[in-house]
Amino acid sequence: TTTTTVKPPPVTLQQSPIINLDRGDPSVFEPYWRKNGGKCTITISGHDSLSYFSDPNSVCWYMEPELQEAIRRVHRVVGNAETEGCHVVAGTGSTVLFQAALYALSTSSSVAAEPMKVVCAAPYYSQYKEQVELLQSRLYEWGGDAETFDGSAAPFIEVVTSPNNPDGSLREAAVANKTGNGKLIHDLAYYWPNYTPITRPADYDIMLFTLTKCTGHAGSRIGWALVKDVEVAKKMTTFMQITTIGVSKDSQLRAAKILGVVAEDCEQHAAGAFGYAGNDADKTFFGESRKLMAERWEKLREAVKDKKDVFTLPKYPKRYCNFSGRYFQPAPAFGWLECKKGCDASALMKAHNVLTRGGETFGVSSRYTRISMISREEEFERFIERISGIQCVDEEDE
Amino acid sequence: TTTTTVKPPPVTLQQSPIINLDRGDPSVFEPYWRKNGGKCTITISGHDSLSYFSDPNSVCWYMEPELQEAIRRVHRVVGNAETEGCHVVAGTGSTVLFQAALYALSTSSSVAAEPMKVVCAAPYYSQYKEQVELLQSRLYEWGGDAETFDGSAAPFIEVVTSPNNPDGSLREAAVANKTGNGKLIHDLAYYWPNYTPITRPADYDIMLFTLTKCTGHAGSRIGWALVKDVEVAKKMTTFMQITTIGVSKDSQLRAAKILGVVAEDCEQHAAGAFGYAGNDADKTFFGESRKLMAERWEKLREAVKDKKDVFTLPKYPKRYCNFSGRYFQPAPAFGWLECKKGCDASALMKAHNVLTRGGETFGVSSRYTRISMISREEEFERFIERISGIQCVDEEDE
């Protein structure tokens, strides 16, 4: 049999600076905000936001009403989620809301005495497993790949990430809907028109979103959940109350401002708002970001085409985006690179001083690796240059 | 035997508005910040803080260097904690850092296979138990009152809260130091000169602090841990990474600004800074706050004195405060009221539309209840008035 291995790169490359594309740090949007961020500036005085409370009579008592309003507005104008009849729960990013949802779903009255299995179709976001296993809870435990999971035995939780992290695919529940035993969490962090065509408003029981991937403001750590069942929303709020007594109000008010500006921008320009299929949506934050992402993907596909004996990338069909009023191909936040000869793709990258996240972390083969497409411009450009020097050779050839 | 009961209050009182003194919402400091908060104003632009990262080469990579600097400075000038040789880990409040510390201590290599018991001398802060039990972890479990705990059997964690919440007492470890099996977490949220004389710099393995109780900015959700062991600090950071991918940068920068202003104020006025025992420290934020708290306590003691057949309050000895350069009596953030006849103190309060937190929540008798002393002025004043109408009668008398 032919075993493939990683060929050491030339000495010059070994000494080249490290390009870190492991994390999904959304610096790609920084130039946009440098140019257009003026309207988003906020000022916080010394006497603002002293209290824990924001809206004591609301289910999510620590959530600023302005933020809730801005969230509903941006979903309405983008058309990516149905908020009618949903409760909104704020989180320190959406990460913690995933944990809040696990808590809420695994402590509802109808659950079994055994820890509930949490599953997700592979390749799955590497952090779900880490979060589920962190405290060795008796409430829930990691159940691995949803595709190979038997959902008929006991209640379980399935996470559906769409578009998927790492591979950008659009997904529906793999197992939960079939058996009736499953409870669903939809992680829709990337369901925004900067990454993917908005084909319809998502309408699920628990939907998670985050400012990080929507506008790029990762440092503010603001996420939100749209939750249909009020009891689930209450339990998620209880989780937030016990673990962190709420979420930074400073960041909530900032997020409200940013989302408000983005929504207003969309209302002024987007096709949907005027009922014609113009392309004014290109001028919005999402339109500009989509162009940027599309350009990066074009460069990546070009670079990978030149190395077509080494790598392959997933193909995504064009779809009609209701928000943009045009057909386009998804341009996900991550590139999901497969090494054609089956060698360890992340090790291959690492040998060339490119840090990526290997397939095994996502529950699949090491022949895959995930590459951030949302890094700073110079890092991305340097990465594209570096691809040309990467090769993976059969040992037999040596 | 004489059983005591709660006498229904007159109809007029039943209809009086609810005074909520259950939560420790630090609104008491709002007037100070309204008057003096100008220097603390911050402005955040649309392009600020986009990244997850703040200081990638530091142990706590998501922590803003300005915040770390301000924290060390304020401890230096107040003299309430030794920061030399400590790592600083930031949290969304100190609540989550308590959980991060539990994770760090219960997953270190030397721990047993059994869940580690977490104990605290009663009366203990009601939230510790809730936090420990929330996810039914296999790493740790609630062990109750440290005073009755046998620490000789297995490794355990003792939380030491000083000044204590709810009763304001100054504390040292009850059991951990005796057996050598215990690991310590010191919750020093209230060890600031607004509440208690600063007798020496605290110097423990893990010390928790929070902006909420220091300056009153609860809404910003900023806490910090001073941690001696770098491995513990790393694990706590890992916990923060997995659960929330860091802490709001907007609030970190705001906290840095506020603590910087407070520290500068102290440097200019405090006795310690000039090496003489003047009382210029009275003009600082801590000095003004101390006066405010002392006035409230005087009013409370006065009101309770009039009801001395019903209630009693703990007595705190005067001590010399190195920061203020004067002797004073502690004026804790909570009043710990005991019903002399042994009736349910929180029910008694509730019958008079005053919401407080009953002793059973803190692991002791229901004859005790905790009353927030840091509410808004008008709520506090209304409460003081209402005390005069409260009585607890023996059933035999009726």
* Dist. CA B137–CA B128, nearest whole Å: 14
pLDDT at position B60 over 80? yes
Signed CA dihedral, A213, A216, A218, A224: sign only: negative
Phi, psi values for residue B54, rounded to 5°: -120, -45
Q: Residue A113: its pLDDT value, please?
A: 77
> Among candidates B282, B379, B297, B375, which has minimal Cα distance to B330?
B297
Beta carbons of A341 and A310 less than 8 angstroms apart: yes
Q: How confident is the model at residue B398 (pLDDT cuts 50, 70, 90)?
A: very low
The amino acid occupying position B281 is: A
Higher pLDDT, A56 or B3: A56
Signed CA dihedral, A342, A343, A348, A349: sign only: positive
Domains and CATH numbers, chain B: 4-32+282-397 (3.90.1150.10), 48-268 (3.40.640.10)
Distance of CA A152 to the CA centre of its chain: 29
pLDDT at position A277 over 60? no
Residues of A in contact with B27 (CB under 8 A): 50-51
Mean pLDDT estimate for chain A: 92
Q: Residue B113: its pLDDT value, please?
A: 77
Mean pLDDT estimate for chain B: 92
- pLDDT above 90 covers a percentage of chain A that reads 82
Q: Residue A355: its pLDDT value, please?
A: 97
Q: Residue A276: its pLDDT value, please?
A: 47
Distance of CA B115 to the CA centre of its chain: 27
- In the block, tokens 């057949």 appear at B309
CB nearest to A95's CB, from B136, B137, B243: B243
Give the residue from chain B lying closest to A24, CA to CA.
Answer: B52
Q: Residue A157: its pLDDT value, please?
A: 96
List, for residues B337-396, the tens digit of each pLDDT value: 999 999 999 999 999 999 999 999 999 999 999 999 999 999 999 999 999 888 876 544
List, for residues B279-305, the tens digit of each pLDDT value: 577 889 999 999 999 999 999 999 999
pLDDT at position A61 over 70? yes
- pLDDT above 70 covers a percentage of chain B that reads 91
Window from A166-170, A173-177, B82-86, B182-186 with minimum mean pLDDT: A173-177
Shortest Cα distance, chain B CAs vs residue A138, angstroms? 5
Q: Residue B373: its pLDDT value, please?
A: 98
> Among candidates A133, A139, A135, A132, which has minimal Cα distance to A112?
A139
Would you tell me which residues 31-70 of chain A have a C-beta closer than 8 angstroms to some C-beta of chain B?
Answer: 33-34, 36-54
Give the residue from chain A lying closest to B242, CA to CA.
Answer: A131
Residues of B in contact with A251 (CB under 8 A): 248, 250-251
CB nearest to A131's CB, from B220, B242, B250: B242
pLDDT at position A397 over 60? no
Q: Residue B1: its pLDDT value, please?
A: 42
Q: Residue B8: its pLDDT value, please?
A: 61
C-beta neighbour count of B351 within 10 angstroms:
17
* Dist. CA A343–CA B106, nearest whole Å: 38
Q: Is the CB of B220 inside 8 Å of chain A's CB atoms? A: yes
Q: Residue A1: its pLDDT value, please?
A: 42
* Dist. CA A144–CA A129, nearest whole Å: 8
* Dist. CA B318–CA B13, nearest whole Å: 37
Judged by CB atoms closer than 8 Å, whether chains meet at B250 and A248 is answered as yes
Q: Residue A33: its pLDDT value, please?
A: 97
> Among candidates B363, B379, B367, B315, which has minimal Cα distance to B341?
B367
* Dist. CA B76–CA A170, nearest whole Å: 54
Give the residue from chain B lying closest to A52, CA to CA.
Answer: B219
DSSP label at B164? -
Q: How confident is the model at residue B2 (pLDDT cuts 50, 70, 90)?
A: very low
Asked if the bond preceding B332 is cis, omega within 30° of 0, the reply is: no
In angstroms, how far apart are the furthest CA atoms of chain A? 71
Window from A27-36, B13-22, B176-185, B188-197 with minimum mean pLDDT: B13-22
Counting one residue from chain A and one from chain B, the pairs whose CB atoms sit within 8 A come to 207
Higher pLDDT, B240 or B15: B240
Judged by CB atoms closer than 8 Å, whether chains meet at A46 and B33 is answered as yes
Residues in CB range of B109: below 8 A, 6 or more apart? none
pLDDT at position A232 over 90? yes
CB nearest to A254's CB, from B23, B34, B250: B250
Angle between helices B230-244 and A95-106 in degrees, nearest 10: 80
Q: Is the CB of A315 inside 8 Å of chain B's CB atoms? A: no
List, for residues B128-167, the tens digit of each pLDDT value: 999 999 999 999 999 999 999 999 989 999 999 999 999 9
Residues of A in contact with B36 (CB under 8 A): 46
CB nearest to A50's CB, from B30, B103, B222: B30
Six-digit token string for A302: 């070009």
- In the block, tokens 């000083």 appear at B162
pLDDT at position B273 over 50? no
Q: Residue A176: its pLDDT value, please?
A: 77
Higher pLDDT, A70 or A110: A70
| Sheet containing strand B140-145, strands side by side | B87-92, B222-227, B206-210, B182-187, B156-161, B116-120, B140-145
Judged by CB atoms closer than 8 Å, whether chains meet at A219 and B249 is answered as yes
pLDDT at position B119 over 90? yes
Q: Residue B278: its pLDDT value, please?
A: 52
For the residues A363-374, what does the mean pLDDT come to?
A: 97
